[in-house]
Each structure stands twice: as C-alpha cells, then as structure tokens.
A and B are shown apart, each in its own frame.
Chain A
Amino acid sequence: MTPTTDHAVVSWVPVCRYDDLEVERGVAALVEGTQVAVFRLADGTVRAVDHHDPFSGANVIARGIVGSRGDVPTVASPMYKHVFDLRTGACLDDPSTALRVYPVRVSGGVVAVRAAAGTG
C-alpha cells in the first residue's frame, strides 16, 4: 500500500458545495477529463459514478431518477431506464455491465471526487 504516492498522482478534485446538491437529483462534473455523475442521497451520503451510460453511449447518468430497489440506493438511466446500484455501480438489470464508482469526500461543506475509479 502506497497511499501517499496515490494521492500525489490522482488528487481530490472539488466539484461543488454540498448545499448545492439537490437531494436525490444528480449533477455531472468534469474530473480531470472524466465525466462523473454525483448524487446526494436522502440519508445525506454522496455517491459518484460514471456519467457515461454504457447502454446508450450518451453522457446522461446524472440526469436519471434516484430511488431504491430493496435496500439498494439506485439511479435509473434516463435513456433506456437501466437501473444501477449507486454504491457499487453494478447494473441491476444486466449483471454483466457496471458503472465505475469514484471516491467522494465532503469536507468543509465542499464535495470532492477522486478521478481514479475505486471499488466503492
């Protein structure tokens, strides 16, 4: 584990203020060239996944409807309504496909995202 090197290479990019995020409605952010969809959930947590929808090829995930399936917090792509797990990025309608998830940090009222996709 070399966390320090990691931080030096891919840094946390501030994207907006926490208060700017509407509950259960996403925004898109450009994080070092990558399009990331950022969501604030009803329980206050913030999640970030790919903005790119693998099914339609369009950059639209942030514009989907946020909700839940069982206990899983979800977003449905606005294009063909595929539903994704916001914690893991997995597509619940097609297990062979997943969105990348990005680490999110909220500090000092600012939301920051790290561009290197993590495992959630």
Chain B
Amino acid sequence: MNPAHPATRSHLVVVGGGMVAHRLVDALLQRQGADASWQVTVLAEEPRAPYDRMALTSYFSGRDPDDLQLGDPALWSDPRVTLHRGDPVTAIDRVATTVSTASGREHSYDALVLATGSSAFVPPVDGRDLPGCFVYRTIDDVAALRAYVEELRDRPVARGRRGGETALAGAVVGGGLLGLEAAGALRALGVDSHVVEFAPRLMPLQVDEGGGEGLRRLVQKLGVHVHTSTATARLHAGPDGRVRRMDFADGGRLDVRVVVFAAGVRPRDELARACGLPVGERGGVVVDDTCRTEDPKVWAVGEVACIGGRTLGLVAPGYSMAEVVADRLLGGTATFPGADLSTKLKLLGVDVASFGDAAGETAGALPVVYADPVAGVYKKLVLSDDARTLLGGLLVGDASAYAALRPLLGRPLGGDPAAWLLPEGVAGGPSGDLPDDAAVCSCNNVSAGTVRGAVRGAVAAGGGCDLAAVKAGTKAGTSCGSCLPLVKKLMTAELVSAGVGVSRALCEHFDISRAELFEVARVTGVRTFSELVARHGRGRGCDICKPVVASVLASLGAGHVLDGEQATLQDTNDHVLANIQKDGTYSVVPRIPGGEVTPAGLIAIGAVAVEFGLYTKITGAQRIDLLGARLEQLPEIWRRLVDAGFESGHAYGKAVRTVKSCVGSTWCRYGVQDSVGLAVALELRYRGLRAPHKLKLGVSGCARECAEARSKDVGVIATDKGWNVYVGGNGGFSPRHARLLAEDLDTDTLVRTIDRFLIYYVRTADRLQRTAAWLEEIEGGLEHVRAVVLADSLGIAGDLDAAMEAHVAGYADEWRDALEDPVKLRRFTTFVNAPGTPDPDLVPPARHVGETTVRHDGGDPDGAVLHTRVALEVVPR
C-alpha cells in the first residue's frame, strides 16, 4: 500500500466518499497516469465504498448493497489511493493544513476537497423524532426503513383493528423527486402510501401545472394517494410510543405507521463554516468557477458546493465539478461549464424528463403542448419566439423522445414540433445530422463528436467497435444510461459511414446474424448444422452458434430437438430436457397451463417428489420445480408425470415458458373476462415454440392486473369490450413494462395478433434478444411491428399465420417422445460404463423448512389428469 516515492508526491485529502468524490478520484487517476503526482486519501463517513445513490431505491427490490457500488472496485486497491470508511472528518485546521477525524486520526494535506454532499432536510414538525420517522439518503437509511416496515408487518397488531383488513399506511412528506422515489419504495414494501406535498402540484421544481396534473393521475393510478396543497402540522405517537397519526394544517388527519421525510436537502457545509470558509445565502461552500474556495488549497465539489450563487442537487453538475478539479490539480485550466439541469427519471415506473428552459421563462418563448389526460401523458416543448429553436421541454408519462431532443437544445428543431410530441412520433430520431458539439451524454458531458471520434479511432486501430467499447472509451452512458439509445445510434451511423458496418457476426464460425441465418435456413431448406456451417460458415461451431442453429431448426419444424445431429447442438438443458443446477443435477418443471392445477395433479407431483427424493419449490411463474434429479432419474420421473397427465414445461428451453394468469371472472368479483381460460388456451397453443430467447405471457382478468401481464413479452388485459394486448415487457435484469399494441380485440383477433407477433419475433430477433430489446432495435420500432401484424404492411401475414398453424399442428410433448425412443433414452446415464451408478460426489443441499408430517398415498392416477387439458384444448383454426 505504500506509494513508491511518497516524498515526491503531493497529498490530496477528499472529505466525503460519495458519488462525486468517486468521480474525482477516478478522473484524477486516469488523467495523471502512471507517473502519479498525487497521493489520495478519501475520508468517508459511511461504512462503505462510494455507491450509486441514484439507484438507492433498487435496494428495495432485494439488491445487495454491493450491487450499487460505483465503478471498478479495483480503484480502492490502487496504491495511490487510500479509503478510510466509517471515519467522518470532524475539523479542518487551515493554518496547519490538517484535518482530524472522529477516530482521532490526523491527515495533513497539500490540497483538500470537500465532497460532503447534502443531508435530508427535516421540516420542524412536532413529533418528527418519533420512532417510525425516517429520511431517505443513504443505504443505511433505506435498510432501517425496510427493517422497520418488515417488523411492523410481522406483528399482528400492525394489521389494524378490524381483523387484518387494513393495509399498513405510510406517508411521505414531500412530493418532489425524492418524495416520489420514497413513496414507490414504501409501496414496494407493501405499504399503502400517501404523498403529502405543500405546493399545489407534484414535483413543483421540475414540472408545470399541466405536467403536475398528468403526473398526479399516473401516480394515483399506481395506487399512491396524493395530497397537494397540504401542510403537515404535527405527528402523534400511539400507545407504543411510535408514530401513529399525522395532522394537517387544514384540520385533516391520516393514520400512519411510518413517515419518510423527503422535503429537500441541505448542503453539509458544517466543516467549512467551522473553519471560517464563506458559505452561500442558502448554504453551500462558496466556490469560483474552478471550484476553489477563497482558500487556494481548499476546493468543494458536488452538492455541497455553492457555485454561481447556488447549490445543485443533481449528479451531472457534480461530475463536471469533479472533472474540473482533477484537471486543475494537474495544472490544467478547466472551468465549470455551467449546469445542465436536464433530468430524466423513472419514478414509480412513470417517465418524467425535463430539460433546458422547461418552464418557458425566456422572453417570447412559445410553448407547444400535447396532453392526453386519460393516458396521463403531458409533453411540452419550449421554442424561441420564431418557433424554430428548441429552448427546453418537459415530458411526463412518455419520455421516449428525451434522448433525441436534449442534444438539440439551443438548435433549430427542424420540421414540425408536433411530430416530436405525438405518441411514437420520433421513431427515427435525428441522430444522423446532430452537430459534433451537441451534448449527447449530460451526466458525463460527452458530445456527439467525442462519440464519433471514439468510433473512428477504434475502426482506425483495426479493432472492432461495440457499445461497451464506446462506453468505456468516452464514459457516455455510464451513469443514468438515458443517453444510451442515442449513443448507439451515433455509433451505428458512424460505423456504416466508415464502411465498416456493424458486425452482426454470430461468432467466429458465422459472419451472419441469427436473423439472416434463419432466413438462409428457411429459404434454402438446409436442415443440418454440418451443411449450414460448411456452406455459410467455418470450423466446427461452438456453444454460441450451435444452440442458435438448434433453435432455428426447431422453429422451422425440423422434428424433435434430439433427432439425429440436432442433439449434438443442444446446450445441456435442451439436451436432457431439464435445467442443469450448480451441482450437475437437473430440475424438472411440468407444464401447469395458466397456473391452474387440480388437487389430484398436486398430489401426483408430490408423489413423484417423495419417490425420487426431490426438493420441491413453487417457482416465480406459477408452477412447481422438482429439483435435484440425477441424469439417470429423469426418464422415470417423466414417466410418472406423463402418466399423471403432465408434460414438459420447457423451463429448459429458449421457448415459450408460461402464460401466467389471475383467477379472473370465474371467481374474482372484479373480473370482466375469463383470464384463466384464455391463459390456458394460449399456453396450449404456443407451448413448445422455440425462440431467440425465452417468451413469457400473462393474462389479467381486469385492469387491476394481478397477473402482472405488463411485465411479460406478451400481456393481455381484459376490458369490458374484449382484450387489450401489450408487448415487449419483461422482469429480470432490466425490467420493462410492455407497451400497448392493440385495444379491445375479440378473442379470435387477439390470438391472430399474438400469432403474428410471435412468429415475426422468432424470425427477426437476435440471439438472446428478448422482445423488449428487439422492439427497440428493429427499424421503426413498435409502430412498424404494429403495422406488420395488424395491417400486414409487409404482405407476410399469411406466411406468419401459416407458420404458427404449422407449429400448433406439429406440437408433441418432448418428454413423451423421448420416453418412446430407446436411442434418445440411452443419453440418460451418468456413466457410459456403469449405467446404474450415480455421480458419487453428489450431496443434496438441505431444505429450509422441515418436512410436513402429512403424507398422501398417491391418489388415483386417472383423477390426476388436469381438468384444463380436457376442457380447454385449443383447436387449430
């Protein structure tokens, strides 16, 4: 850890280990290179390395705090950097040029940077210190809030006086950016959340009246109660001494069990005040446009800095300040370029973006507004008095145009502004003719020219160029990510104009993309890997192209996935029709269409688990996983399941997985259509369909959406008149909500629409590209796909329909087929020379719950046949 030549280096001390401190250290190290002139010590109050505070809310969705860590953790093991965690600075001695910390350590500095950020502002309300009151700033705040709510939930008394009917209620004080984040977090914890805002609208700082109204509708639609023009007067404790009631200034009141203050922030300038550095009128350490305080050795960056007379509560200007100081410390002449206060947020799943002069304060500014109060969309562009130059904008409910609009700030918009505002109106975007100096990534201050330069550089160096390389090389897109679609467009355009084209090669064996390979196989009729690779590729293939070819062949109806040479192309999951687990055993997931299962079916599954000693778990997709099956046990397990009326659930394949459903109109008092019936019908229709990635569907019986259909690749939601169909949703790593494809369809039209959508996706998507990414990528986006499936714009609808009919007609259960074929069955031995012997190294993991003592005797096998299979078999049309 000792620097090589400590004596020759100057010592930089950074107070605070937040987002901007991280950027400063990272930038300084990168800029100074190997011949380092600065040794850096970071003194952090929080007990962890800098993390992504903007993503704090994702900690509620179960993320590990470590996932929030910023940048490459190797930064903190660099010999030029020392990070002290959990040791706040308590005083600065500017005469001795030292700082001292709570643990009693003293550090002397040649330069000192204050990066202490802000703290949450708690308004002086009576009762604000009661147990149950929280702020929302650090991982520890969030962890404490979560623990408190979970503890309340587990105590029966918390469920309210009337027998557990009342949900736990909570209030957030403040309806700004942070307040809405906090309300979303509370809601995610199962709390019935209320937002209390003093101003007459939500996000008063960012949005205008119209935008606030759109936002209110969207937020209320999500089940969050909104109280605007409401002041919190005091909080009362319950008999247990914890917060129980909130009183408003107008006499209203709310029973609450938890309160979060998110009413703004205050710069943490206490150290600066104590050592006599000037602070701004509303706080913040006063700095000049080089981020230096009046003491030439002391700098301030990020939220604590008061620059140009104000503090800035966003990360992008903080990052600019960090870059300025890094440059100055190395003798540069950078100055703060001024703050770009553009923001794009996803609050509770609602898009909000504001940029430039969103309020229209420029003299003569002309606002152009589009509002759809029903959909909760409000968009406004602010133009110069000649209606040509873009001055700013505000997008609520649909911010898809943000990435393309923001770089046009201060430039002619070109064309009719309305085109930018209408839904889906910006499919193409203007990236091609964006001037080089237009800022593309505002978080990291990267211009279009810089992105183009990076692409050209990579091409000139002879190497390939992909988005990851551009991100690493320019930092564009590495913070909030909202500029990524634009960065990618610029990159693609540059590659094309450099004559390189974007490499769509699947792998070293094929120069063509999956979609092209699909077309080649479809048109030429070639149905073996050996022939495809000999004619259109090279080598013997690999774990990338072989499964792709296997999937293409399966989609083209080339027979059972284990027929002939196809078997050698399959990843182990498809090869043994089960999912590999970490110890080399497999899991077995029988199909349970729509989640509907008979008691006899449950008993049959239980009996199989008992017989083979399998671990059982309800999956996240409404079915049952039987885990720990050894290779040689699989056929016998299937035999029992098939006899009981079950079939393969394709949990192992890049294929249609499940159609999730809610109970629907059969039982639910709100259901307007039979969601289970439709889900079962759809699952039986599409079962076994292989695709570039897995496909999930969902059907909800009414707009309450208990089946979470909008988080599926295809989601269907019942209406009074029929079905609405949404496409392109998923959970997983980057969750997306599905977007509306068509409304109020009758069942036949719905099925035909989904048929076409699925086949078009199967044919044209890239390897491992789910529908959301495909819709983003495909020329023309959702609008184009809608035209293809609803209006037959490409004249291929008949072909798509025929392909789906062929699939439905050709479907056969893969387990049953394997059981009937001795050649296929031979694969299910662990050792070729000792067929009965299991892998001796296997040790089954322990269960988390004890075995129940209730035992069933297996039941009547005939009774175990699923009711749904009989009643709702789909007849091909």
Q: Which residue numbers of A lie inside 8 Å of B, CB to CB? A: 13-16, 20, 22-25, 27-31, 35, 38, 41-42, 56, 58-60, 63-70, 73-74, 76, 78-79, 81, 83
Kindly state the separation between the CA atoms of A11 and B856 in the bound complex, as whole angstroms. Answer: 51
**Per a CB cutoff under 8 Å, which of B569, B570, B580, B834 touches A60?**
B580
**Are B539 and A68 in touch, CB under 8 angstroms?**
yes
**Are A63 and B583 in touch, CB under 8 angstroms?**
no
- Is B547 an interface residue, CB under 8 A from the partner? yes
Known: A20-B832, A29-B834, A78-B580. 9 other contacts (CB 8 A): A23-B565, A25-B567, A25-B568, A25-B575, A27-B832, A29-B831, A30-B837, A59-B839, A65-B541
Q: List 15 A–B pairs whose Cβ atoms lie within 8 Å, in order of A's numbering.
A: A14-B833, A15-B832, A16-B833, A25-B568, A28-B832, A29-B832, A30-B833, A56-B582, A58-B584, A60-B584, A65-B542, A65-B571, A67-B543, A67-B545, A67-B546
Cβ–Cβ < 8 Å partners of A81 in chain B: 543
Kindly state the separation between the CA atoms of A66 and B570 in the bound complex, as whole angstroms. Answer: 10
**Are B831 and A74 in touch, CB under 8 angstroms?**
no
Give the number of A-B contacts (CB < 8 Å).
94
**Are A60 and B572 in touch, CB under 8 angstroms?**
yes
Cβ–Cβ < 8 Å partners of A69 in chain B: 508, 539, 542
Cβ–Cβ < 8 Å partners of B539 in chain A: 67-70
Ranked 8 nearest A-B pairs via Cβ: A58-B584, A78-B572, A76-B543, A67-B542, A68-B540, A27-B832, A65-B543, A68-B539
Instruction: Quote the shortest CB–CB distance from A31 to chain B (angstroms).
Output: 8
**Are B540 and A30 in touch, CB under 8 angstroms?**
no
- Binary per-residue interface labels of chain B (569-599) against chain A in the complex, 1 for a CB within 8 Å, 0 otherwise: 1111001100010111000000000000000
Cβ–Cβ < 8 Å partners of B568 in chain A: 22-25, 65-66
**Are B541 and A67 in touch, CB under 8 angstroms?**
yes
Cβ–Cβ < 8 Å partners of B508 in chain A: 69-70
**Are B542 and A74 in touch, CB under 8 angstroms?**
yes
- Binary per-residue interface labels of chain B (799-840) against chain A in the complex, 1 for a CB within 8 Å, 0 otherwise: 000000000000000000000000000000011111001010
- Is B841 an interface residue, CB under 8 A from the partner? yes
Instruction: Quote the shortest CB–CB distance from B534 to chain A (angstroms).
Output: 11
Instruction: Quote the shortest CB–CB distance from A72 to chain B (angstroms).
Output: 10
Q: Which residue of B lies closest to A31 (CB)?
A: B833
Kindly state the separation between the CA atoms of A22 and B547 in the bound complex, as whole angstroms. Answer: 17
Kindly state the separation between the CA atoms of A114 and B575 in the bound complex, as whole angstroms. Answer: 28
**Are B540 and A67 in touch, CB under 8 angstroms?**
yes
Cβ–Cβ < 8 Å partners of A70 in chain B: 508, 539
**Per a CB cutoff under 8 Å, which of A15, A23, A24, A59 touches B584?**
A59
Cβ–Cβ < 8 Å partners of B570 in chain A: 65
Cβ–Cβ < 8 Å partners of A27 in chain B: 832
Q: Which residue of A lies closest to B583 (CB)?
A: A58
Instruction: Quote the shortest CB–CB distance from B801 to chain A (angstroms).
Output: 34
Kindly state the separation between the CA atoms of A61 and B545 in the bound complex, as whole angstroms. Answer: 19
**Are B582 and A28 in touch, CB under 8 angstroms?**
no
Cβ–Cβ < 8 Å partners of B580 in chain A: 60, 63, 78-79
Cβ–Cβ < 8 Å partners of A60 in chain B: 572, 580, 584
- Binary per-residue interface labels of chain B (640-682) against chain A in the complex, 1 for a CB within 8 Å, 0 otherwise: 0000000000000000000000000000000000000000000
**Per a CB cutoff under 8 Å, which of A16, A24, A58, A78 touches B540?**
A24
**Are B542 and A68 in touch, CB under 8 angstroms?**
yes
Cβ–Cβ < 8 Å partners of A79 in chain B: 580, 582, 584
